[in-house]
Amino acid sequence: MELLEPLSDAQLVRVGSFEGYGPVTVRGLIHYLCSHDQQHLAGLLWLMGKAEAARPRSA
């Protein structure tokens, strides 16, 4: 966040090419990467739920 905060509006709309994704602005890439990370976090939460459900319970 410290690296992104000082970026100007002009810098955030610069376009580059992201392999496998195509043309994207810096702002778009930030959104894409955040979404990607959230998908990983959701998968980990699901996996933790499965592990907890499979854990033996003491009577």
Does residue 59 register a pLDDT over 80?
A: no
Is 48 part of any domain? yes
pTM higher than 0.95: no
What's the CA angle centered on 1, arms 12 and 20, to 5 degrees? 55
Dump pLDDT digits (tens) for 1-58. 899 999 999 999 999 998 988 999 999 999 999 999 999 999 999 999 999 999 998 8
Structural domain tally of the chain? Answer: 1
Is 4 part of any domain? no
Confidence at residue 25, expressed as pLDDT on a 0 to 100 scale: 97
Is 30 part of any domain? yes
Q: What is the 3 state secondary structure string of the chain? A: CCCCCCCCHHHHCCEEEECCCEEEEHHHHHHHHHHHHHHHHHHHHHHHHHHHHHCCCCC
